[in-house]
Structure 1
Amino acid sequence: MEAQSRRSRSAPTGRPRTAVPSGRPAWDGERPAGPAAAVVDERGVLVGWTQMSERMLGHRADEVVGRSVAMLMADEDAAGPVARWSRLARAGRRWCGTVCLRAKDGTTVKADIETSPMSGDHSGYWFVTAVDPSGVSAWPPAGVPVAAALLARSPVALSIWDTDLRCIWLNSAAARLDGTLGRRRLGQLVTELPLGTAGPGITGAMRQVLETGRPVIEREYTWQVPGEDHERRLTASYFRIEGPDGRPLGVCTMSTDIETSRVRQHLLALAEMGGRVGTTLDVGRTAQELADAVVPLLADYATVDLAESVPFGHEPPLERLQTSPDSLPIFRRAGAASSRNGMPEAIWSIGDPVFVPPSSPFTRALYSGRTHFEPVLDTSPGTWLDQDPRRAERIAQLGIHSLVIVPIRASGTILGEAIFVRHDNRAPFTRDDRMLFEELVGRAALSLDNARRYTREHTAALALQRDLLPGKLSGGPGVELSSRYLPSDIHEGVGGDWFDVVPLPDARVGLVIGDVVGHGINAAALMGQLRTVTATLADLDLPPEEVLARLDRRAGLMNDRSSGNDALGRVMACTCAYVVYDPVECRCAIASAGHPLPALVRPDGDVVFPDVPTGPPIGVGAMSYDSLTVPVPAGSIIALYTDGLIETRDADLDAGMERLRAALRGPSTSLDAFSSHVISFMTPQAWRDAAPSLVAGPDRGPGTVSGQDDIALLLARTRPVSPEHAAAQCRP
C-alpha cells in the first residue's frame, strides 16, 4: 500500500535518527536503557525508531521509518488495530495492551504496548513503547553471563540499576509490585521515582552497596504506590553486580511485599489461631479449642490426646485399664475436630482412653519429645499400621495421606500429643505447616499447663471444702433439715461458704451459715477454722448476738497473730448469720453479721424476710450485734443461704430476693426435693433455659455454678415439741 512505500512528509531525511518525546533523556548508545520505543503519526506510519527497538525486533531504523506500523504486527488482521489506535491518537487518548510483534528474523515477540499522544509541535503524533513481559529484552548487556530468562520469571521482584542508579531492567514481578507505575520506571533514575519519604533511604542504601560491595539485606520501608490510596510495607535487599574483571556494573534489588509474604501469612495465621486457644482455665475446653483452631484451616482432622498427668474429668486412671502386647492406653482423648460431619475419622470419643501400639509414631513422639513429620504417610506392609488394624482401616477408607504428631510439652513435662491429618485436602503437609503446628501447640501447652495446675488446686480446694462441711445433719426432733452446696465454676475457684447445725438443750437447735471473702484453698481453710469456732461458741448455749460478738473477737485475735504473709492471711471480712430455734415456744432468735436476711416460709406459703438488725461483718472488730426474735409456726421453713444464691452479674440484690421469694413459694414436697427445686429455680442455667433442672443433690457430687459465687443453702422445716419431750432430750 502507498503508506508502506513512501515516507511521511514529516519524517526525517538522510541518516536515520532516534525520536524520543520531549523531556525524556536520550540513552547512551553504548549502553541502551529503557523500553523499545517508536513515534507514529496519525496515519499509523512510523516516523521514529530507537536502538532498543532495533535490539528487540532486529529492524534498523532505515528499514522501518516511513512504513506503516502494520508491518510489525504478527496478527493477520493488523489494519483494524492500527486504525483504532489512529482514532484514539486523534482524540488525544492513551491506549495500552498486549500484542504480538514480528521480528526481522520472522519470529514473533509478545510485548506490552503503551501509546501516548504527543503535544506541542508534535501534536498529531503518538509515542509508542513496547516491553517484553519477560523483561529479557532489555538486559543483560552483552558478555555478562546471567540466567536472564530464569530471573525474568522469578516470583521475587527483581530490578537492575546501572552505575548511575538508572533502572535498566525489571522482571514481571517487579512491574506488578510497582502497581500503576509498572515498567515506566525503565530508564529513570532512582531519584526520579515517586518513592516519597522512603526515597532518600533507598537511594543511600543503593549507593552504599555500589561503593562498598557489601549487600544490604531485608531493609523495611513503607511506600504509597502511585494510584493507590494506602501505604504498602515492603522489604528490599540490595547487592552489587560485577563484571568478569570485578568492575561494578550496577545494583540488583530484590523486593517483597510483607503484607502478602509467606512469613507474614504464617504470623497472621498463628495470631488468628492462637487467639482462639486458651480462653479459659478448663483443660478439656482448651484441648478442644486447639483442635477447632486448625480445622479446616490447616488440617482435615485433628485430635488432642492428654496423658494421665493432665486431669480433665472423673475417668478411672489409665493404669487400671487392660493392656495387651499390641496396644497400650497411654492417652485420653480430650479434644477432636473434623472437616466432615459426624467425625468419621474418630475411633475414640472425648474422654475415652486412646490405645496405641508400643512401636508407633505416637509412642516415639511421646518418649522422644520430637515432632513426627510424615508428609506422605507410608501405608505399605511392614509398617506400624500392621499392629493397628483399626487405624489402618480408617486411613484406607478416608484416604488419609499426611500426618503430623506434635508432643505437647510444658515445664519439662510431656502433657500429651496433638495429631493432625489430611485426607480431603490432597496437598501434603509442608515444613511451614509443621512449624506452624509446633508454634501453635507450644502456645496451647502453656494454657494446658496453667489449666492443669489450676484444676489440681481447684480439686484440692473443693475436697478440703467438702471435708470441712458437715456430713449428715442432725438437729433433733424439732427440725427436718436439708442442705445444698455448689462451688463456683473453675474460673472463680472454690469459695468459703459454709453452714452448720448445732443441737442445743431442751430440743433447741442452732443454725449457722457463713461466707468467707475470697476463693481457693486459703478461703476453704479459713472457713474450716471459723466453722469450728462458731460451733464451739454455739455449744456454750450463748444467745445469737453473743456468739457473733465472740466470733468477731476471735477473728481479731487471728489477725493480731497473722504476719500478713502466712498461708491464710488476715480475716478481712466474713459474713455470718446465726439462728436459734425453740420448738417448744415455736419461735427463733436471729442475729446477722452482714449476712443476707434469712427467709421464713409459713405453712400457708407466705414468704417473709424478717427485718433482722444487720451488724458489721466478722473481722471488723465491732463485737456488737443485736438479735431479733420472731414467731415460727409449726410446719414453717427457715431458709438460710449465701449471697451466691441471689446475686448475679446482671441483676441486683433486690431482684435476687424477689426471685428467691418466688422460688420458696414452690410446690409442697419433701424438704430434700424442695431444696433441689430452689437451687434449680435460682441458678443461671434455669433462668436462661426457662426450664428448672436439678443442679446438685446430696448424692450427686459437688456440681458447679457457672459464672457466679458459691452457693450454700440450709433449710429447716420446724416441728413442735412438747415441754416434756424437750426436757427428756439429751444433747449428744
Structure 2
Amino acid sequence: MGTHDEDGVARRRFDVADAAPLLLDGRGVVTSWTRDAERLLGYAAADAVGRDLAALLTHGDAGRVAEILERCRRDGGWSGLLSARRGDGRPVPVMARITCADEPGGADRRLVLLSETGDAPGWTMSRSVLERMVSGSPIGIAIVDTDLRFVWSNDALARFGGGRPEERLGLRLGDVQPGLDAEAAEAQMRRVLADGATVVGFEHVGHLRTAPHRETAQVLSFTRLEDDHGNPVGVYYTVVDITDHHRARQRLALLDRAGRSMGSSLDIARTAQELADVAVPGFADAVAVDLPAPVLRGAEPTPDPIGPVPLHRAGVRVSGTATPPGAAPSPATATPPATATPPGAAAPPRAPAPAVTVAHPADSPPVRCLLTGRPWHGERLDPSAEPWMRNLPAAPAPGESVSVLIVPVRARGATLGVTTFLRRGLREPFDADDLALAEDLVSRAAVCVDNARRYTRERDAALVLQRNLLPHRLPEQDAVEVAACYRPADELTGLGGDWYDLIPLSAARVALVVGEVPGHGIDAAAAMGRVRTAVRTLAALDLPPEEVLAHLDDLVARMAHEEGLDAGTQAQGAGCVYVVYDPVDGRCAMAAAGHPAPAVVLPGGEVTFVDLPQGSALGLGGPPFESAQLTLPEGSTLALHTDGLLAQGAEWALDTDRTRLRRALEQRAADLDVMCRTVVDALIPARPYDDVALLMARTRRLSPDRVADWELPADPAAVAEARRTASRRLAEWGLPELSFTTELVVSELVTNAIRYAAGPIRLRLIRERSLVCEVFDGGATAPHLRHPRTTDEGGRGLLLVSQVTERWGTRFLGEGKIIWAEQSLTDPGA
C-alpha cells in the first residue's frame, strides 16, 4: 500500500478538469486570464484582461451577459452553452459554468470555467449534474491507478461491499473484498492497461463480505484511462449486479439437467436416485427421496397412515459422497440382482432394491406433506429440537442450524412420497424462489416415478403371468440332463414372449422346445402361453417335428385371422424350434420355424451348429417345414436358445454371433446349471434389450439291458409265444408283479397287429421310469377305442389296455405305426 503523499499525487491526476478558468469582477470585466483560456480563445493575457465578457462572445450571446450576471448574483451561479469569439474572429461553441468567488469583505468576483464542446474532451454539461449522475447512479463505478489501487468510486459501489468511497482510497480490490476472486478481475484490468482494449461483460461470481452466505454474480466492464499523450493513467470500470439473472440461469440449467437425466429408466429406485443426484450439490447439500413400500412395489400408496409412518429411502445424495452410510446404493454402484433362473424355473418378479426404512412421527412435517400434498419450509432449524429431524439425509454438526424443504412427490392426483432438501453450514437458507424451483423439480421427477410405478405393476403382473405359463419345474426323465435359464428384458423394452419346454413322449423319448412370440408385455406373455399349450397338445399326438410345426402354423394363422389382433402383440410371426430325442439309439429329429438352429457341444468339447432347414415364422405361410436327422453320442449337449441370446439388433445367423456363442459354449462345466448361467452371463447384460431363453440338454443313452425287442411272425400262434417271452424278460428285470398286466397288453396289441395289419411285426419292451410295451406293424390305420355293447363278441381289447395301463397311444412312422402302452413303475431305479 502506498503512502498518503503518493496517493495524493495519484488522485490529483484525476481531480483536474480540462476547463479553461478566468475571473470576472462584479461588472463582468475580465480581471484574470490563464494559459488554458489563451489556448481556448486565442487572446493573450494583455489583450483579454480589462475587457468585458461580452466582448469575448459573438453578437448573439453578448447581449445575454447582463442577464447571466444577474442570475449569478441571485442564484449563486449559472451554467450553459455560449458562443465565444476567438482572437482570429472564428466562433467557438463552449460550455460555461459561472460561480461566485467572492471573498468575505472583498469585491464581487466571478469564476468562469469554459470547455470547448467540439472535439476536445471535457465537461459538456454542469459539473454538478455530472457529479449527481455518477454519485447517484445505480451502477457501481470506480477508477484505479496503474497499481490497481482505488483513487475514486461512487456511492453505488459501496452497495456491493467493500466500504464507502473514502474507505477504499489507496486499497486494491482484494483488500476490500476478500471473499471475491480478485485475481481474475485484476487480470482483466492489467490486460486493459497493457493493450487498451475495452473489456465489456466480464462475469464474476463469488461471495461478498457483506453477504457471505449468498453467492453473488456481477458483470464488470473495464476501460483504460489515458493522459493527453496517450499514456495509461488507470482503469475506469463499472459493476452491475446480475445475481437474480445468474440464479435464474442456474435454475433453468438445473431443470434442463433434470429433464435430461431423470426418467432414463423405468425403475422406481433409480428414478428417485436421479432426483437426488441432480439436486446435489448445486441446489442443496443433501437430498432424500422417501417413498411408501407399496409405491416401490408398483401399487397405490396407502392413504391416511396412523402412528409412525415407515417410508423407504429410495434415493439419497449428500454433498461430497455418492451414497452416505446406510443408504440405498446408487444405481451407478449397485450390484444388479441376479436374474438367471434355477433349472426349470421361470424368473420371479424383480424385487425393488433394498432401501433404508425411516419411521416418521405421525405429526411430523414429512407425514403432513404426505397427507396434505403441500410442501413445508423450515429455516435455521435446530436438529436437536425435533425428533423427526433425526431422519434428515445428513447429520448436522452439534449446534449447527439447517434449512429444510420438504416437497411431496405428487403425480396424477396421488402423493407418492416426499423429498427432503437440506442446506447446512454457511449456505444461504431456502427462500420462496427455491421452494418454487424444488416443486418444479420434484413434479418432473414425480411423473417419472409414477410412470415407473405403473410400469412396475404391469411388468410384475406380466412376470407373474409368464412365470405361471412357463414350466415351474421340468419333468424328471432319463433321456437327458436338462438346465434352463430365462432372463426378462430391461425396463424400457418390457417383458417378452420367450419360452422353453421339455415334454416327455412315448418310448422314453423327450421333446425339447424353445420359442419366441413377438412383442412385449402382458399381451406377448398371454400369446406365448397359448402357443406353448398348443405345442404340448400337438406333442401328445406323437407327430414328427415338421408335422407339429405345420399344425402349429395353421393354428396360429387361424388365431390371427379370427381374432384380428395386431401381429406385434400376438402369436403371428412367432418362432419355434422343436427337437425330439430318442435315448434308445441317440437319434435326434428337429425342425424350425423362423428360429435359430440349436448348437451341439460334443463330448470332446467341439461346438457345432445343426444344418437345419429354416421354415417361415408361424402364421405367415410359406413352404412346408423340413426336418433334420442326426445321431448324437452320449454326453452331447444340445443348446436351444432364442435370438435374444445373440447380439442386439443383429441377425442370429451371422457368423460373428455364432462365433461368440461357440466361445461361450466352449467354457464347459460339469454342472449343467452352472454352464447354462455362464453362457447367458457371457453373452448378454444383466438387463438385456430382449428377453432370453436358453435350454440345454445333455444326452443320455438307455443301456441295452433295459431294452428288449423281438420280430414276430404274422401267425396267431405267435401271440402265446410273445406273452411267454415278455413274461421271462420281466422276471429278469425283477418285475414279476407286472407279468399279468403285461401279458394282457402284449396279447391284445399283437393280436390286433396280426388281424388288421400287414408286413412285419415287432414287439419291444423298454424299462425306464415306466414299463413301455410297443408293437410295430406295417399298417397305416390307427385303432380306435370304443365302448362295446354287452352283446358284442369283440372290440374290448383297447378298452382293457386303457384300463390296466397308465396311458397308451399310436405313433406313426414312415413304414408303419406303433401302438404303445405304459405302466408305472413304483421303483424307478429298479
TM-score, normalized by length of structure 1? 0.64
Partner residue, 2:369: 365
User: Structure 2 vs 1, CA of residues 545 and 390 (structure 1 numbering), >3 Å: closer, same or farther?
Assistant: closer
Q: Mapping of 1:218-367 within 5 angstroms? A: 260=245, 263=248, 265-311=250-296, 327-329=308-310, 331-341=311-321, 351-367=355-371
Structure 1 counterpart of 2:287, one-letter code: A
Residue 605 of structure 1 deviates from its aligned partner by: 1.1
1:137 to 123, 132, 135: 132
Report deviation, 1:398: 7.9
| Native 8 Å contact 1:644 1:710 kept in 2 | yes
Partner of 2:638: 638
Shift in CA distance, 56/571, structure 1 to aligned 2, threshold 3 Å? farther
- Alpha-carbon distance, 1:621 to partner: 2.5
- Residue aligning to 1:720: 701
Q: CA deviation at 1:64?
A: 3.6
Aligned to 2:33: 6
Cα distance change on mapping 1:132 and 1:352 into 2, 3 Å: farther
What does 1:459-474 correspond to in 2, within 5 Å?
Answer: 459-474=460-475
Tell me if structure 2 keeps the 8 A contact 1:37–1:127. no
- Residue 405 in 1 paired to residue 434 in 2? no
Deviation at 1:340, TM superposition (A): 3.0
Q: Could you tell me how far 1:425 is from its partner in structure 2?
A: 4.3
SS in 1 for 2:258: helix
Cα deviation code 1:327-383 (max 9, x no counterpart): 431x110111111337669778761111111121111111111110113325585xx
Contact 1:38–1:129 (8 Å) recurs in 2: no
Q: Distance in 1 between matches of 2:766 and 2:79?
A: 115
Contact 2:258 2:278 in 1 (8 A): yes
Counterpart position of 2:111 = 63
Taking a change above 3 Å as real, the CA distance of residues 466 and 392 of structure 1, as seen in their structure-2 partners, is closer
Output the amino acid matched with 1:614: Q
Relative to structure 1, the CA distance from residue 594 to residue 395 in structure 2 (aligned partners, 3 Å threshold; closer, same or farther) is same
SS in 2 for 1:483: strand
**1:586 maps onto 2:586 in alignment:** yes
What is the alpha-carbon distance in structure 2 between the residues aligned to residue 442 and residue 344 of structure 1? 25
Match runs of 1:229-628 below 5 Å: 260=245, 263=248, 265-311=250-296, 327-329=308-310, 331-341=311-321, 351-377=355-381, 381=385, 385-386=386-387, 394-397=395-398, 399-474=400-475, 476-564=477-565, 570-622=570-622, 624-628=624-628
AA of the residue aligned to 1:15? L
Q: Which amino acid aligns with 2:616?
A: P
Identity %, equivalent residues: 37
Which residue does 1:105 correspond to in 2?
none
CA–CA distance in 2 between the matches of 1:133 and 1:564? 88
Number of matched pairs: 532
Contact 2:326 2:356 in 1 (8 A): no
Change (3 A) 1:257 1:731: farther
By how many angstroms is 1:672 displaced? 1.6
Q: d(CA) in 2 for partners of 1:393 and 1:338?
A: 7
Whether the 8 Å CA contact 1:292–1:337 is kept in 2: the answer is: yes
Cα separation, 1, equivalents of 2:128 and 2:326: 52
Query: Whole-Å Cα distance in 1 between the matches of residues 634 and 823 of structure 2?
Result: 22
Q: In the TM superposition, what is the alpha-carbon distance from 1:493 to its structure 2 partner?
A: 0.7
Q: Is residue 299–residue 420 contact of structure 1 (8 Å, CA) maintained in 2? A: yes
Q: Which amino acid aligns with 1:648?
A: Q
- Distance of 2:612 and 2:79 partners within structure 1: 96
Kindly state the Cα deviation for residue 677 of structure 1 after the two structures are TM-superposed. 2.2
Does the residue aligned with 2:585 lie in a helix, a strand or coil? coil
How far did 1:311 drift?
1.5
Secondary structure of 1:442's aligned partner: helix
Q: Which amino acid aligns with 1:708?
A: Y
The whole-number CA distance in structure 2 between the counterparts of 1:498 and 1:360 is 50
Structure 1's 489 and 570: CA in aligned 2 closer, same or farther, altered over 3 A?
Answer: closer
User: In the superposition, relative to structure 1, how do residues 229 and 485 fare at CA in structure 2: closer, same or farther (>3 Å)?
Assistant: same
- Supply the distance in 2 between the matched residues of 1:392 and 1:628 (Cα, whole angstroms): 64
* 1:688-719, Cα deviation, whole Å (9 max, x unpaired): xxxxxxxxxxxxxxxxx424211111111111
Cα distance in structure 2, aligned partners of 1:577 and 1:58: 117
CA contact (8 A) 1:562 1:569 kept: no
What is the CA deviation profile of residues 104-163 of structure 1, one whole-angstrom value per residue up to 9, with x for unaligned ones?
xxxxxxxxxxxx9955xxxxx544458989977269xxxxxxxx95xx4389xxxxxxxx
Looking at structure 1, the residues matched to 671 and 271 of structure 2 have their Cα atoms a distance apart, in angstroms, of: 41
Partner SS state of residue 712, structure 1: strand
Go from structure 1 to structure 2 and tell me whether the alpha carbon gap of 1:439 and 1:483 turns closer, same or farther (over 3 Å shift).
same
Specify every segment of 5 or more residues in structure 2 that has no aligned partner in the other structure, as ranges: 1-19, 23-31, 42-47, 59-67, 72-76, 87-91, 141-154, 158-197, 203-239, 330-353, 709-764, 773-821, 825-830
Q: 2:783 aligns to what?
A: none
Q: State the match for 2:684 in structure 1.
A: 683
Structure 2 contact 287–420 (Cα < 8 Å) conserved: yes
| Structure 1: segments with no counterpart, 5+ residues | 21-28, 42-46, 70-115, 120-124, 140-147, 156-170, 174-225, 231-254, 685-704
C-alpha distance in structure 2 between counterparts of 1:33 and 1:545, whole Å: 115
Larger radius of gyration: 2
What is the CA–CA distance in structure 2 between the aligned matches of 1:55 and 1:269, rounded to whole Å? 59
Is the alpha carbon distance of 1:662 and 1:38 closer, same or farther for their aligned partners in structure 2, counting shifts above 3 Å? Answer: farther
Q: Partner residue of 1:700?
A: none
Q: Distance in 2 between matches of 1:339 and 1:403?
A: 15
Q: Cα distance, 1:513 vs. partner?
A: 0.8
* 1:15 maps onto 2:60 in alignment: no
Q: Return the alpha-carbon distance in structure 2 between the equivalents of residues 547 and 56 of structure 1.
A: 120
Alpha-carbon distance change, 65 to 647 in structure 1, aligned in 2, over 3 angstroms: closer
Displacement of 1:476 after TM fit? 2.0
1:191-230 aligned at under 5 Å gives the runs: none
Contact 1:516 1:574 in 2 (8 A): yes
Kindly indicate whether the alpha-carbon contact (under 8 Å) linking 2:575 and 2:593 is maintained by their aligned counterparts in 1. Answer: yes
What SS does the corresponding residue of 2:381 show, helix, strand or coil?
coil
For residues 56 and 680 of structure 1, the distance between their equivalents in structure 2, rounded to whole angstroms, comes to 98
Provide the rounded CA distance (Å) in 2 between the counterparts of 1:335 and 1:584.
59
CA displacement 1:589-619 (0-9 Å, x = unmatched): 0101011010111111111111111100111
Q: Secondary structure at the match of 1:502?
A: strand
CA contact 2:519–2:570 (8 Å) conserved in 1: no
Q: Secondary structure at the match of 2:427?
A: coil
Q: Distance in 2 between matches of 1:35 and 1:132?
A: 11
Normalising by structure 2, what TM-score? Answer: 0.57
Is the CA contact 1:35–1:138 (under 8 Å) kept in the aligned structure 2? no
What is the CA–CA distance in structure 1 between the aligned matches of 2:671 and 2:253, rounded to whole Å?
A: 59
Q: Which amino acid aligns with 1:717?
A: R
Residue identity in the other structure for 1:293 = V
Calculate the aligned-residue CA RMSD, in Å.
4.7
Task: Check whether the contact 2:268–2:449 (CA below 8 A) recurs between aligned residues.
Answer: yes
Q: State the Cα distance separating 1:15 from its structure 2 match.
A: 3.3
Change (3 A) 1:540 1:62: same
User: Could you say if the C-alpha distance between residues 56 and 584 of structure 1 is closer, same or farther in structure 2, counting changes exceeding 3 Å?
Assistant: farther
Quick one: which amino acid aligns to residue 689 of structure 2? Q
Q: Residue 716 of structure 1 aligns to which amino acid in structure 2?
A: A
Distance 1:299 1:393 in 2: 11
Alignment of 1:50-199 (within 5 A): 50=95, 62-65=110-113, 125-129=120-124, 137=132, 152-153=137-138
Instruction: Tell me the CA shift for residue 308 of structure 1.
Output: 2.5
* C-alpha contact 1:487 1:494 (8 A) present in aligned 2: yes
In 2 relative to 1, CA 56–514 (structure 1 residues): closer, same or farther, beyond 3 Å? farther
